[in-house]
Amino acid sequence: MRLLIKFRQPHKSKFQMKKLTTLTLCLAAILLLCDCQSRVQNENEEFELSFPVIIDMEEIVNQPITELNLSMVADSLEYIPLETLSESLIDRTGHVVLTEEFIFLQTLHNILKFSRDGKYLSKIGSQGRGPGEYVTMRNISIDIDKERLLIFPNIASELLIYTFDNKYFGKIPLFDSYLDLALTVYYAGNDHFIASGVGLWPGEFSEEMFLIALLDSTGKIIEKVDSPLMQSSDYINNNNIFYPGTGAPSYYDTVALSIGWGCDTIYAVSQYGIDPRYILNFGRYDAPFEIKYGYSYDQDERRRIMENRYGYLWLSGTPIETRNYLFLQFSFNDYLYLAAYNKFTGQSLVFREKGTVRSGLVGYSSRHNIESFGFKNDLDGGLYFYPRWTNLNSNVWITSYNAFELMSSLEVIRERDPENLQKHKRLVDLIGKLDENDNPVLVVAHLK
């Protein structure tokens, strides 16, 4: 805290004035030093927040639009071109997990293992219906302490375990249920797992459904949050509804954030339990239940339901947390927004995509225009950055650009900061070595 001290002085001799001036300057220097030290301490101080925090979304959506710079959360970028071989071709990037030595990448039908600098090493497991085999996968995660890769296959009744050197270790049966209850299952540390709730179509309601669940080492549920539809069974039994489920969680340190479609509570999930962390107050922009989850097999009626969603606010991505900020991606009046909510001041910065998104949002593609959405890359002048993946125990954000996208944007990158060409020389040199048919390039943002 800055101190302001005023001196009232009687008339003094020049010698006395000189001594006083020297004393005053010394005192001022000491106070200034204390002030600077206090500021450093305050900046590095570990704040304790009282959860849950209530966030006014009406206020956020009405904030002035501004750019969000990547440097507000990250201090460096790492580019990793993934080696393109006939056995390592990537048809779709489903999930990416990093360690200090390896990259594990989920494609449509395979899990590929690369070195940390992008050299192809091997495939993990194999396709099939035998022990330890998979046909397709929903997601992968890792237990970094035991060096094990965890595979959640599309036939979602078990979790497959492989070692980092591609040895099948065993499996964990899930849920004690014959129902397909989870969209994703991720590692949470200390032999615990996070499961996100499966979607719901008309006629599929079950009392066993959950929004988020914490599983123990045997795959059994030890704590859960009920689906928002559990409290509306009378409406469900008499109406057509559609519930897309709960998206994959995002990680910061050892805590995951998760929220269900149309819900207002963001939960923090770790090996220790599930707790409400943020409550979003949508105010007048909160859609009624029948608009959030309304569904019809009649095409005209379905179109009317979708059109009624205009004017309401919807989270369109999993919230992402850093030490100082909570980032919320949401749609409002057919625009896509990204808000940075400062957890310690309660203030927000809001960015809006320059184009519009598709109406309805249920069919909204997670693939955004990389020239116009996300964080402005002020670190090296590259493309806009939005994290597609986060990792447990690793404070990084990860995204990918395909080679054609990068090559097409080369002139834009060169023109972005013409007086500081050295700033993006590394990226320009990398793009110059690409072929449009090459595998994607991973970009890793290292958080502050």
- Please choose, from the candidates 82, 136, 139, 92, the residue with its C-alpha nearest in 3D space to the C-alpha of residue 113: 82
- How far apart are alpha carbons 323 and 337 in whole angstroms? 21
Please indicate, yes or no, whether residues 18 and 99 belong to a single structural domain of this protein: no
Please indicate, yes or no, whether residues 93 and 237 belong to a single structural domain of this protein: yes
pLDDT in tens, 50-83: 899 999 999 999 999 999 999 999 999 999 999 9
Please indicate, yes or no, whether residues 279 and 213 belong to a single structural domain of this protein: yes
- Assign 129 a pLDDT band (cuts: 50, 70, 90): confident
- How far apart are alpha carbons 319 and 247 in whole angstroms? 10
Question: Residue 186: its pLDDT value, please?
Answer: 97
pLDDT in tens, 168-193: 999 999 988 878 899 999 999 999 99
Question: Residue 4: its pLDDT value, please?
Answer: 33
Please indicate, yes or no, whether residues 166 and 301 belong to a single structural domain of this protein: yes
Position 189 in a domain:
yes
Please indicate, yes or no, whether residues 145 and 220 belong to a single structural domain of this protein: yes
Higher pLDDT, 434 or 1: 434
Return mean pLDDT, the chain.
83
Contact criterion met (CB below 8 Å) for 106 and 137: yes
CATH assignment of the domain containing 199? 2.120.10.30
Which residue is associated with the tokens 């056995």? Answer: 87
Question: Residue 34: its pLDDT value, please?
Answer: 46
- Assign 365 a pLDDT band (cuts: 50, 70, 90): very low
Report how far apart, in Å, the C-alpha atoms of 165 and of each of 57, 121, 133, 146, 170 are.
47, 10, 16, 12, 14
Q: What is the pTM of this model?
A: 0.85
- Assign 108 a pLDDT band (cuts: 50, 70, 90): confident
Q: What is the DSSP string of 270-328?
A: ETTEEEEEEEEE-GGGPPPHHHHHB--SSHHHHHHHHHTTTTSEEE-S--EE-SSEEEE
Q: Is the pLDDT of residue 265 over 90?
A: yes
Position 44 in a domain:
no
Please indicate, yes or no, whether residues 11 and 144 belong to a single structural domain of this protein: no
Please indicate, yes or no, whether residues 60 and 153 belong to a single structural domain of this protein: yes
Position 45 in a domain:
no
Position 91 in a domain:
yes
Element at 20 (helix H, strand E): helix 14-44
Domain residues for 332?
Answer: 52-447
Please indicate, yes or no, whether residues 19 and 115 belong to a single structural domain of this protein: no
- How far apart are alpha carbons 88 and 438 in whole angstroms? 10
Ranges 29-38, 155-164, 236-245, 368-377: which has the least confidence = 29-38
Position 92 in a domain:
yes
Specify the number of domains making up the chain: 2
Position 47 in a domain:
no
Please indicate, yes or no, whether residues 86 and 1 belong to a single structural domain of this protein: no
pLDDT cut 70: percent of the chain above it: 81
Position 43 in a domain:
no
Please indicate, yes or no, whether residues 108 and 210 belong to a single structural domain of this protein: yes
Question: Residue 381: its pLDDT value, please?
Answer: 87
Number of residues assigned to the chain: 448
Element at 238 (helix H, strand E): helix 233-238
Cα dihedral 50, 56, 57, 58, rounded to 10, equals 180
Please indicate, yes or no, whether residues 296 and 325 belong to a single structural domain of this protein: yes
According to DSSP, the residues that pair with 172 across neighbouring strands are: 159
Amino acid identity for residue 376 in this structure: K
Please indicate, yes or no, whether residues 34 and 57 belong to a single structural domain of this protein: no
Task: Taking residues 7-18, report their average pLDDT.
Answer: 36
